[in-house]
A and B are shown apart, each in its own frame.
Chain A
Amino acid sequence: MLYKKKWPLLIFVLPGILFMLIFLYIPFIENIKNSFYDMTSIVSMPGLEPKYIGIDNYKTLFTDPKVKIAILNSLKMMVLTVVFEVGLGFILAVLVSNIKRGAQIFRTVYFFPVVISATALGLLFKLFYNYNGGMLNQLLASFGKEPVNWLKPELAFIMVCIPTLWSYVGFYFVIMLTGLSDISDDIYEAADIDGCSKFKQVFYITLPMMKTVICTCITLALTGALKVFDLPWVMVPKGAPQGLTHFLGTYMYQSTFGVNNFDYGSTIAIMIVVLGVVVSKVVNLMIKERD
């Protein structure tokens, strides 16, 4: 290699490694350890040593009805992100690639919500959903309809999903659009000459050519769905109403910092990791299977 002295290497690599060890790897391992102990407080105090409790937390995990809700909601969210974020992103990208004017404007506009914080978007949609004079109920009133409690138990989950999904469509749209621009125009021209309709071209040319891009998007969407926290937390804190809108992230926060059950929070966090790894492995397998 070019540089003969080896010692500068330490200066280049060490800070990064230390950051990863101190703030990622060691905490990650400690978190696993925590899940087997009963922690009365977060900092170890003399005389209050954490007690080893084996797999009790994991037993609780499987019987906790709220965990069940949170897992189901997170899984539903995964399906919804794939269908609506990736699906809508794809449709919009195909449409935009078929127009001559204004493509750039649509790109700019569609991507904008991605850069806005989920906290601000949560606040914004709270104004839309408010029972007394929120935007949606004003709209209903102008048609002479009765106001609706948009965050009632039957509706709350889907009403929280809408802004989450809406805000990220633009992200997948841009990735798809980049992918589409890599497909050569010649293929479409040949298809045109052969009399293949635009609609059929999407199925027989665009979709197969975009396979890798779509798969990347699906993996991103699935793992992203597990990280949801900010938006639901602002709109429906603590899984309101009745814990029905808990996602794994919000329930982990609530268990840890809401009711100070640190070891149980650690256990939920581990489940999030496991679920994430399993989901991405399954997706990878499915992709390979089809090849």
Chain B
Amino acid sequence: MRTQKKIKIGTILIYVVLIMWAITTIFPFLWVFNNSFKPSSEVIRSSFSLPQEFTWMNYSNAFSKQNILMAYRNSLLISGTVTIGVMLFASMMAFGLTRYRFKGKGIVQMMISASLMFPVFSTIIPVFRMMSEWGLLNKNVAVILPQIAGNLSFATIVMIGFLASIPLEMEEAAYMEGANVFQVFAKIIVPLCKASLSTVAIFSFLWSYNDLFVQKIMIRDRTKYPISSLLEEISSKYGTDFGLMAAAVTLIVVPVLIVYIFLQKNIIKGLTAGAVKG
């Protein structure tokens, strides 16, 4: 009897602690969502109650004055291209490295793992110089190219791990029947790699979409801002307009939340993949 009671008290305590942490994660988002429907003056007075004068004004401000749709479009274009580029080049490189033996293979593999040690800070100044010399500043491609390179090494390591583990029989059969290497790659390898490709896609996309540093440096023209740069500008220029800030945060969080609800298993796996592999 005694032990059973003890266990129950223990379980209740566990739930209390877990729920408390859950509240710290949920509360900030609920708070900001709630306040995005209030005029700023009301946010300052009573941010905890439900909106008294319910308004869409903050959202119409965000769309009309802040060009948030354009920023979304730029961000999706950048991150979409980065994702496709990383998936393509990483799987190609991983295929080459696992299916061919060649001189310098060790060097290439070393290059890949060593480049994981370069923080973006250590390459960004020369990349910025190149982009300005090539006349690419303020263009999406100036963000896309370094971000592909930045994600490529890690993505290749993930793909090598998978490609090295799948049996060669299917490829062999297709190759013997006269398919060329590129057909084998496109028709057999890529479909087999779906799971690891989706891991690669998820971390490349989120990493690129959430990054502020590179887009802040490469894109200086405010009419061409992607979403993170726009948010930063709203924060520094309209820092007193609480309603607008709340609406801006909500507009960033809600689409991610929707995607997260549907793909959470893949997203969690994608983002923690590197750590688990060690």
- Chain A residues contacting B217 (CB-CB under 8 Å) are 253, 257
**B71-106 interface code vs A (CB 8 A; 1 in, 0 out):** 000000000000000000110110111011110000
Range class of the B interface residue count: 35 or more
Find out whether the CB atom of B125 lies under 8 angstroms from the CB atom of A5: no
Find out whether the CB atom of A117 lies under 8 angstroms from the CB atom of B252: yes
Give the total number of A-B pairs whose CB atoms are below 8 A apart.
270
**A24-38 interface code vs B (CB 8 A; 1 in, 0 out):** 111110110010000
Find out whether the CB atom of A249 lies under 8 angstroms from the CB atom of B212: no
- Chain A residues contacting B278 (CB-CB under 8 Å) are 212, 216
Of residues 100 to 122 in A, which have CB atoms within 8 Å of B's CB atoms? 102, 105-120, 122
The residue of chain A having its C-beta at the shortest distance from the C-beta of B31 within the complex is: A135
Give min CB distance, A102 to chain B, whole Å. Answer: 8
Range class of the A interface residue count: 35 or more
Summarize A's interface: helix, strand, loop or mixed. helix
- Chain B residues contacting A229 (CB-CB under 8 Å) are 212-213
- Cα–Cα distance between A22 and B10 once the two chains are bound (Å): 57
Residue B64 CB within 8 A of the other chain:
no
Given the known interface contacts A20-B149, A42-B132, the answer about A273 and B256 at a Cβ–Cβ threshold of 8 Å is no
- Cα–Cα distance between A239 and B227 once the two chains are bound (Å): 23
Find out whether the CB atom of B146 lies under 8 angstroms from the CB atom of A23: yes
Surface stretch bound by A, among B18-26, B55-63, B190-198: B18-26
Residue B166 CB within 8 A of the other chain:
no
Given the known interface contacts A23-B146, A216-B275, the answer about A276 and B89 at a Cβ–Cβ threshold of 8 Å is no
Given the known interface contacts A175-B272, A272-B119, the answer about A16 and B90 at a Cβ–Cβ threshold of 8 Å is yes
Given the known interface contacts A115-B260, A178-B276, the answer about A126 and B148 at a Cβ–Cβ threshold of 8 Å is no
Of residues 177 to 204 in B, which have CB atoms within 8 Å of A's CB atoms? 180-182, 185
Residue A227 CB within 8 A of the other chain:
yes
Of residues 1 to 26 in A, which have CB atoms within 8 Å of B's CB atoms? 1-3, 5-6, 8-9, 11-13, 15-17, 19-20, 22-26
Closest 5 CB pairs of A and B: A133-B44, A12-B96, A23-B149, A16-B93, A117-B210
Interface of B with A (CB < 8 Å)? 10-11, 14-15, 17-18, 21-22, 24-26, 28-29, 31-32, 35, 43-48, 89-90, 92-93, 95-97, 99-102, 108, 111-112, 115, 117-130, 132-133, 145-146, 148-150, 152-153, 156, 168, 171-172, 175, 180-182, 185, 206, 209-213, 217, 227-228, 231-232, 234-236, 239-240, 242, 245-246, 248-249, 252-253, 256-257, 260, 264, 267-268, 271-272, 275-276, 278
